[in-house]
Amino acid sequence: MFNKILIANRGEIAIRIIRACRELGVKTVAVYSDADRRSLHVAMADEAYHIGPPAPAESYLVIEKIIDAIKRSGAEAIHPGYGFLSENYAFANICEKEGVVFIGPTSEAIRLMGDKVTARKIAQETKVPLVPGSEGAVSDVEAEVIAKRINYPVMVKASAGGGGKGMRLVRKEEDFKSSLRMARSEARTAFGDESVYIEKFIERPRHVEIQIIGDSYGKVLHLFERECSVQRRHQKVIEESPSPAISDATRKKMGEVAVRVAKAVSYRGAGTIEFILDQNGNFYFLEMNTRIQVEHPVTEMVTGFDIVKWMIKIASGEKLPFSQDDLSIKGHALECRVYAEDPEKNFLPSPGKIEYLRTPSGPGVRDDSSIYNGYEVTPFYDPMLSKLIVWGERREEAIKRMSAALQEYIVLGVRTNIGFLGRTMENEEFIRGEIDTGFIERHPELLPPSLEDVKPALIAAALAMRNSTQEIDTSKQAPLSNWKLLGRKLAVSRGPLI
């Protein structure tokens, strides 16, 4: 096992990795930008190194600064988390050349599966079902020809894309050229690569993904599926496991297909094979994410498998000691991503200072977060505040538990999507499992705030005013670590729970 691991990330995923390292007896190293000097991941890590200004392009995305922090800290391995450099082939390749263990797949696997066109070819070679479309990147003329051949509606997608960037839905031929132009422009800005491919658009598709894990000795297992269909701007908002839409037979087949794709690139560590599911239950390969996913906790809740801890164990050379038959699903888990954003304004980010915070707890409730009273939500990074995860014996119980937990969740000082998430839990279509990637667009009535959203905030505001913040006089106390001192301050500023 490693002695020290550097975490090339921030926020809740950095904290999640720090906790896994603590359980394994491994010391941790954090990196931080100017905007993250007071972040929890910095306080919790054993060491922390400054890497630059707030903008990711000047800090978290600068490979040289991360490598310099690794050398200065003496860390033997690096965990990239998700986002930033987690799927960057060049970064993983440099780590390998520098003798630093990259906790994830090999750089070659990232290169092969990171390009969507190459990934489609690999899927095709391994007999994986594919959505009709171009076999690779296409010119403007080729794109138009293929779009006519497979019939509208079609999707224009960036070859090097992700997170909904460089993606356009085109329903009519007369809109194709302008949509293609916009997709190329966005892809060039986001990824430095304007190449695109064309894919048939599946009406009312569901987004279902398979979590896989592989060791360095050729064994690859799947940890079943996650349903990720509730999305806004092609980005996931609510995830669950198992999917309410697939049978045991389909689950088995999807798992086998996912393992086959992963083995084709000798995959090591945690990864995800993403599929779209049509209304007839047919599934098609979409892409592979060569990293830990934001929504990995729902899989952990239903399988009892600690994905982050096993990523570290595998990177240190351990073998997976169990077989596919040893794994099973127990109960049902849901995850809601809590964002500092305004659903009524097309989910526009809402930066600012958190003036009051109350988080939910109780049986079957998990809140993966990096925020606290007084935390500053900046405009520089993704506005996700936390991931609220619940478990229940059945889906109906999990939905009710999530609804109750969201009613306990209070954040003042910034706008959030908590009310929207709560109303979604009460939506009849959602309760019946009748969801797809267009669910939010079909239900605009879920977006505006209601009186029920205001009541807990008013109660919290009244209590926050009554329990005014008191500063700690540390002059007469023994020296404290940064983490303990911060914990004391947070405890005082929070006041009694209600």
| Alpha carbon of residue 58 to chain centroid | 22
| Alpha carbon of residue 411 to chain centroid | 21
Count of C-beta atoms within a 10 Å radius of residue 84 = 20
CA-CA distance, 410 to 89, in Å (whole number)?
Answer: 40
Residues near 29 by beta carbon (within 8 Å), at least 6 away in sequence: 4, 5, 6, 7, 45, 46, 47, 48, 49, 69, 70, 73, 75
| Alpha carbon of residue 74 to chain centroid | 29
DSSP 279: T
CA-CA distance, 233 to 346, in Å (whole number)?
Answer: 9
Count of C-beta atoms within a 10 Å radius of residue 151 = 11
Buried b / exposed e over 253-292, threshold 16 CB at 10 Å, is: ebbebbbebbebbebbbbbbbbbbbeeeeebbbbbbbbbb
CA-CA distance, 27 to 5, in Å (whole number)?
Answer: 6
| Alpha carbon of residue 324 to chain centroid | 25
Count of C-beta atoms within a 10 Å radius of residue 188 = 15
Residue 423 known to be catalytic = no
For residue 241, give the H/E element and its range.
strand 235-241
Q: What is the CA angle 145-148-151, rounded to 5?
A: 145
Torsion sign (Cα): 162, 163, 166, 167: positive
Query: Angle, nearest 10°, between helix axes 107-114 and 89-98?
Result: 170
CA-CA distance, 290 to 268, in Å (whole number)?
Answer: 9
Backbone angles phi, psi at 226, to 5 degrees: -130, 135
**DSSP assignment of 101-152:** EESSS-HHHHHHHHSHHHHHHHHHHTT--B-SB-SS---HHHHHHHHHHH-S
* Single-letter code of the amino acid located at 232: R
| Residue matched to tokens 């609804």 | 403
- Which is catalytic among the residues 206, 291, 423, 494? 291
Q: Which residues form the catalytic set? A: 291
